[in-house]
């Protein structure tokens, strides 16, 4: 697999469509199946698959557990790690927040490249114990989370379950294993909340969340600080800014704009107070992946052992954005040219549902310490997305729900 984009997060664009009623509580159905799934993960065949997937090409390579591996960012990160020779094992619960068939297609793509995804929940301690017993992971890339802003108003418990309890579950296990892995995890630019100072810097205040999603990610950063301070875990949080690209999430505006424009449906264009412009720091997935891998490459070892801290450990937070906010209306204009379709724009006031009017990343810290340098402009990135979308949904006859 040469490139994942062949047919292969305020950081998310906040104009999301709520999931279908069938996905109203993805956490509950996952919990009911958890013990059954865990009991099936035993035996020599399972252990062989796990070891083979997690084995690096070189004895000095990484062995990385990627949570949320069937998700948008998780799929691309897993593929890139495997392509350069690292050992990668995925973990994902395949919930129904959005169409699970897209996640299954990503899973198939990864399996072709040698990445095995275990189906399970990050809150399942027995499963985590089993995986760490089979493989002494050097790193954990924790990308599993309940995403989206609007859905938090419908199902707040799913955010607490995944983004807070899930993070604690992973950190609790990592603190007790020996050696402790270094951990890189997905925070979100949503933590900047109601800030008006731009561009957003890691030094800015993050105590004014505009949504429950943002609040859970902010809580995650404080939880990370605690586990670093008490247990010596090496932790790096990445604040993603509106990630887009091939194999993306159907609840994101660029994705459902494309779907609805092709169907001749109207699309909502939000405007801020006093007819203000809504803009996002759209960041292409390939640039985000480079930042994720750089964070892994520069992550220092954790300093604890058996749940006890032996010395100071690395604690970092970085913005991963594109530094070039684009009005949502301009995004639609680009899509019109690429799709050769005139959009039916329905301009409306931004609802009070956790959305924020703009995002803009200051990436100087990531540039300096990670060598992070985004190179993809919005037109180039959207062109790659549209090519994938047409191949997957139109030529591939998939149903874009």
CA distances from 80 to 3, 49, 205 (A): 9, 19, 33
- What is the maximal distance between C-alpha atoms in the chain? 64
> Which of 178, 160, 179 is closest to 169 using CA atoms?
160
Strand partners, 319: 239
Tokens of 149: 């802003």
The CA-based angle 327-73-139, given to 5 degrees, is 135
Q: Are 235 and 227 in contact (CB under 8 A)?
A: yes
> In what helix (H) or strand (E) does residue 340 lie, and over which residues does it extend?
none
Tokens of 379: 């037109």
Q: Which of 41, 192, 213, 227 is catalytic?
A: 213
Helices 125-134 and 166-176 pack at an angle, to 10 degrees, of 40
Give the β-pairing of 87-92 and 63-67. Answer: parallel
Verify whether residue 213 is a known catalytic residue.
yes
> What is the DSSP annotation of 215-229?
HHHHHHHHHHHHHHH
Tokens of 107: 């899973």
- Cα(362)–Cα(64) distance, integer angstroms: 28
Give the sign of the dihedral formed by CA 248, CA 53, CA 233, CA 67. Answer: positive
CA 199 vs. chain centroid, Å, equals 22
Residues recognised as catalytic: 213
């Amino acid at each position: 697999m040469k490139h994942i984009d062949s047919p292969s997060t305020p950081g998310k664009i906040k104009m999301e469509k709520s999931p279908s009623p069938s996905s109203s509580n993805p956490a509950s159905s996952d919990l009911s199946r958890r013990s059954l799934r865990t009991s099936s993960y035993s035996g020599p065949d399972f252990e062989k698959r796990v070891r083979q997937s997690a084995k690096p090409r070189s004895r000095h390579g990484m062995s990385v557990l990627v949570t949320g591996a069937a998700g948008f960012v998780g799929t691309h990160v897993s593929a890139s790690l495997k392509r350069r020779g690292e050992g990668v094992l995925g973990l994902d619960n395949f919930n129904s927040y959005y169409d699970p068939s897209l996640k299954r297609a990503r899973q198939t793509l990864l399996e072709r490249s040698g990445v095995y995804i275990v189906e399970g929940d990050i809150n399942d301690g027995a499963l985590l114990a089993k995986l760490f017993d089979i493989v002494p992971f050097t790193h954990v890339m924790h990308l599993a989370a309940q995403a989206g802003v609007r859905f938090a108003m419908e199902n707040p418990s799913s955010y607490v379950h995944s983004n807070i309890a899930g993070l604690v579950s992973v950190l609790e296990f990592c603190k007790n294993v020996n050696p402790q892995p270094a951990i890189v995890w997905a925070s979100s630019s949503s933590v900047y909340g109601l800030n008006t100072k731009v561009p957003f810097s890691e030094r800015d205040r993050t105590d004014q969340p505009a949504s429950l999603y943002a609040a859970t990610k902010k809580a995650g950063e404080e939880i990370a600080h605690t586990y670093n301070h008490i247990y010596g875990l090496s932790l790096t949080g990445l604040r993603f800014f509106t990630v887009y690209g091939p194999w993306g999430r159907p609840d994101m505006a660029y994705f459902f704009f494309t779907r609805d424009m092709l169907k001749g449906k109207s699309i909502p264009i939000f405007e801020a107070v006093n007819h203000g412009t809504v803009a996002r720091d759209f960041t292409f997935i390939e640039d985000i992946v480079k930042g994720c891998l750089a964070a892994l490459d520069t992550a220092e070892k954790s300093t604890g052992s058996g749940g006890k801290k032996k010395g100071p450990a690395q604690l970092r937070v970085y913005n991963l954005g594109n530094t070039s906010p684009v009005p949502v209306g301009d995004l639609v204009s680009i899509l019109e040219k690429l799709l050769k379709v005139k959009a039916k724009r329905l301009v409306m006031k931004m609802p009070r549902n956790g959305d924020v009017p703009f995002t803009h990343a200051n990436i100087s810290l990531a540039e300096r310490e990670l060598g992070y340098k985004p190179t993809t402009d919005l037109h180039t990135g959207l062109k790659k997305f549209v090519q994938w979308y047409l191949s997957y949904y139109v030529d591939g006859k998939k149903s874009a729900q």
